Amino acid sequence: MTIVEPVLASATRTRLDAAPSSAGSPGTAAAKARVEPAPGIPTRHGALLSWIARIATLTEPDAVVWIDGSAGQQDELKALMVESGTLVPLDPELRPRSFLARSDPSDVARVEDRTFICSRDRDDAGPTNNWREPAAMRAELSGAFAGSMRGRTLYVVPFSMGPIGGPISQLGVQLTDSPYVVVSMAVMTRVGTGVLDELGDAGAFVPAVHSVGAPLVDRDGSPRTDVPWPCNATKYIAHFPETREIWSFGSGYGGNALLGKKCFALRIASVMARDEGWLAEHMLILRVTDPAERVFHVAAAFPSACGKTNLAMLRPTIPGWTVETIGDDIAWMRPGGPGTDGRLRAINPEAGFFGVAPGTGPTTNPTAIEMLRSDVIFTNVALTDDGDVWWEGLTPEPPAHLVDWRGQDWTPDAGTPAAHPNARFTVAADRCPSIADDWDSPAGVAVDAILFGGRRATNVPLVVQARDWAHGVFVGATISSEQTAAAEGTVGELRRDPFAMLPFCGYTMSDHWGHWLALGDRLAAQGVALPAIFQVNWFRKGEDGRWLWPGFGENSRVLAWALGRVAGDAEAVESPVGLLPAPGALDLDGLDVPAADLAALFDVDPGSWLEECDLTEEFFGRFGARLPDALTTELDALRRRLHDATPVAPAAQ
């Protein structure tokens, strides 16, 4: 077995002893890894150590390195990646301490068709997840991971989702052979020795195994050359909800590889939340202060690349209002415990932002532009001639020459985007100018309002309030959105994305809706105030294809109306689909939107809504007997209200 020279002088590094391969195991020099309590091993957690030893035996890395969370170790890893070509350092004046990574062109987004929920019972995964029988998947994964880290280093990344030790927080340990993943995890979560201290000798953690699936030594011992972005054409993003395990193979891309994020904080955590009476959701969290100094907290679920980061960092255009950011992608919400008012409290379990670059510019999201001045890892954006970054939407005019996300020369007449449409930035939350001082408060914030949204060119009004909790759950369950570049698939295709959780729920979505309904019933029975629920849509288009609503900072007008509803001082009118702003109730002062566009933004056409109801019935039908009755009741009631609102056509009279 080849043993590379230690490159991380400061790291705790264990070389693995080669041992004769056990009978029947493939390969010539399978290592029998021993990782035991010893000087230099920063934990005495027996289950953790034996798990690491098992994975090292399976994957055959050259060495094991413990990630301690220190800046020095992170800097060494970045230097290593600059040397290997994985990271391009950006100009230190223009973009201090920042780097560009270019992925393999085949590894740019989440792979939903290779994402698996391996529950014992197929019906527990539900009709919208890819289910695999756990034992069969384990066998397949063992084959894929066997020797997959040969010639590489296995990094041990202990991480906390939420502040270490917080009452809503959870711990995990990711094993990975990708230094890019290590440095990204160190931005997106809390990593290092503090997590091991919190784990103690026997604390519970979610084990998460990740390999890019590109060993540097073949089975026969011959070396392979490394590439800047190793990955494998075959990918597995596999979850075992009952045993709370994650196995990810073949990809280095964010949502596939940073396992604290979608895999743990949504797919595994949603199952924990179902079992324990809380919620793990694909939601931003923000704080709004109104001109009367009243403070509100809003959680909002929009599908991938549909505006969560933008809304979380919104700069209100209406005077006297301020918005502070708490999270941009994931919310964990729990009813407050004894001594509190019992309301739902939300934390952002992450510690950084992995945000969409294209479309982020000084007019759309000036806060993000400030946030990205330094200390950023960019992935798949374009490189300027002076060593800075560029993407579509950063400036109105592109530079005359760029190196595009593929590493090729680019000019404005190239006919292809310079940055990949799903190019992303990775940056620590505390770099965000609008971050709330107490954004990482372990107890979280009490949620006053929940928004559900998506990209809908037609039908869905700018804002509508759900009539009550059950109607709100129905609204969440029936969200559809045009697909974006965040996942492999057909961009623009309208698809169901209930609760913006279609790709992220670790169990059947109908049980998820049932869980929301039950939680609402439980809190209501205790006399606890529930958040008000709204549907929003910034993406309605005119017949000529233009956005009807200016969006971005102007979305503060919608927040103001919604929070006015919460406070009891904004007027609403009934419509078949819920409560709309009463005439004059939406603050439009200083806004230059033609009256016809405003009317179109709120138009509810009963005919097309009834057609959507038919599609909803079909969608709900896929869940069979596990669909909560309350949702059938809501669908019936919506149809009735739409019929009542439909003028009877002369021919039908």
Q: Which residues are catalytically annotated? A: 306
Q: Is residue 622 within 8 Å of 561, Cβ to Cβ? A: no
Write down the least CB distance from residue 405 to ligand SPV, Å.
Answer: 16
**Candidate list 236, 552, 620, 623; residue touching ligand GTP; CB under 6 A:** 552
Under the binding rule (CB under 6 A), the answer on residue 425 touching ligand GTP is no
CA dist list (Å): 595 to 4, 290, 548, 588, 600: 69, 26, 11, 11, 9
Write down the least CB distance from residue 125 to Mn ion, Å.
Answer: 20
- Distance, in Å, from the CA atom of 564 to the CA atom of 23, rounded to the nearest integer, reads 71
The H or E element spanning position 190 is: strand 190-191
Q: Is 499 left (phi over 0), alpha (psi -120 to 50) or beta?
A: left
Select 251 or 304, whichever has its Cβ closest to Mn ion: 304
* Span near Mn ion by CB under 5 A; candidates 156-164, 297-305, 363-371, 623-631: 297-305
3-class secondary-structure state, position 645: helix
Beta bridge mates, 426? 354, 377
Write down the least CB distance from residue 375 to ligand GTP, Å.
Answer: 19
Under the binding rule (CB under 5 A), the answer on residue 329 touching Mn ion is yes
Write down the least CB distance from residue 262 to ligand GTP, Å.
Answer: 9
Under the binding rule (CB under 5 A), the answer on residue 328 touching Mn ion is no
Q: Is residue 484 within 8 Å of 637, Cβ to Cβ? A: no
* Partner whose binding site includes residue 110, from ligand SPV, Mn ion, ligand GTP, none (CB under 5 to 8 Å by kind): ligand SPV
Amino acid making up residue 100: L
3-class secondary-structure state, position 268: helix
* Span near ligand GTP by CB under 6 A; candidates 31-39, 47-55, 305-313, 581-589: 305-313
Q: Is 262 left (phi over 0), alpha (psi -120 to 50) or beta?
A: alpha
Select 254 or 576, whichever has its Cβ closest to ligand SPV: 254
- Distance, in Å, from the CA atom of 293 to the CA atom of 174, rounded to the nearest integer, reads 43
Closest CA to 154 of 55, 247, 263: 55
- Distance, in Å, from the CA atom of 645 to the CA atom of 648, rounded to the nearest integer, reads 9
Select 329 or 554, whichever has its Cβ closest to Mn ion: 329
- Distance, in Å, from the CA atom of 507 to the CA atom of 223, rounded to the nearest integer, reads 42
Residue with tokens 């109104």: 290
Name the residue number minimizing CB distance to ligand SPV: 255
Select 103 or 616, whichever has its Cβ closest to ligand SPV: 103
Under the binding rule (CB under 5 A), the answer on residue 104 touching Mn ion is no
Under the binding rule (CB under 6 A), the answer on residue 380 touching ligand GTP is no
**Candidate list 151, 192, 215, 307; residue touching ligand GTP; CB under 6 A:** 307
Q: Residues 316 to 375: which contact ligand GTP by CB under 6 A?
A: 328-329, 355-356, 358-359, 364
* Span near Mn ion by CB under 5 A; candidates 215-223, 233-241, 323-331, 371-379: 323-331
Chain residues in the site for ligand SPV (CB under 6 A): 110, 254-255, 261-262, 304, 329, 354, 486
- Distance, in Å, from the CA atom of 510 to the CA atom of 112, rounded to the nearest integer, reads 19
Write down the least CB distance from residue 88 to ligand GTP, Å.
Answer: 23
Residues in contact with ligand GTP, counted by CB under 6 A, come to a total of 22
Select 226 or 488, whichever has its Cβ closest to ligand SPV: 488
Select 485 or 517, whichever has its Cβ closest to ligand GTP: 485
Under the binding rule (CB under 6 A), the answer on residue 253 touching ligand GTP is no
Q: Residues 514 to 543: which contact ligand GTP by CB under 6 A?
A: 538-539
Select 194 or 551, whichever has its Cβ closest to ligand GTP: 551
Closest CA to 445 of 348, 559, 523: 348
* Partner whose binding site includes residue 170, from ligand SPV, Mn ion, ligand GTP, none (CB under 5 to 8 Å by kind): none
Binding mask 471-490 for ligand GTP (x = CB under 6 A): ---------------x----
Under the binding rule (CB under 5 A), the answer on residue 497 touching Mn ion is no
Write down the least CB distance from residue 47 to ligand GTP, Å.
Answer: 33
Closest CA to 147 of 33, 259, 37, 254: 33
Name the residue number minimizing CB distance to ligand GTP: 359
Under the binding rule (CB under 6 A), the answer on residue 309 touching ligand GTP is yes
- Is residue 192 classed exposed, middle or buried when 0-12, 13-18 and 19+ CB atoms within 10 A define those classes? buried
Q: Sort strands 170-176 and 153-161 into parallel, antiparallel or unpaired.
A: antiparallel
* Span near Mn ion by CB under 5 A; candidates 76-84, 302-310, 373-381, 476-484: 302-310
- Distance, in Å, from the CA atom of 424 to the CA atom of 377, rounded to the nearest integer, reads 8
The H or E element spanning position 561 is: helix 555-567
**Candidate list 114, 274, 287, 308; residue touching ligand GTP; CB under 6 A:** 308
Write down the least CB distance from residue 159 to ligand SPV, Å.
Answer: 15
Name the residue number minimizing CB distance to Mn ion: 329
- Distance, in Å, from the CA atom of 161 to the CA atom of 183, rounded to the nearest integer, reads 16
3-class secondary-structure state, position 529: coil
**Candidate list 184, 310, 465, 575; residue touching ligand GTP; CB under 6 A:** 310
Backbone angles phi, psi at 197, to 5 degrees: -60, -45
Select 14 or 115, whichever has its Cβ closest to ligand GTP: 115
Write down the least CB distance from residue 139 to ligand SPV, Å.
Answer: 27
Q: What is the CB-side half-sphere exposure of residue 43 using CA atoms within 13 A? A: 29
Q: How many CB atoms lie within 10 A of CB 495?
A: 13
Amino acid making up residue 544: D
Residue with tokens 């929070």: 563
* Partner whose binding site includes residue 523, from Mn ion, ligand GTP, ligand SPV, none (CB under 5 to 8 Å by kind): none
* E strands in 477-550: 480-482, 494-496, 532-536
**Candidate list 86, 256, 304, 480; residue touching ligand GTP; CB under 6 A:** 304
3-class secondary-structure state, position 131: strand
Write down the least CB distance from residue 306 to Mn ion, Å.
Answer: 9
Vertex 539 angle, CA 536 and 545, to 5°: 150
Give the binding site for ligand GTP (CB under 6 A): 302, 304-310, 328-329, 355-356, 358-359, 364, 486, 538-539, 547, 551-552, 555
Which residues form the interface with Mn ion (CB under 5 A)? 304, 329
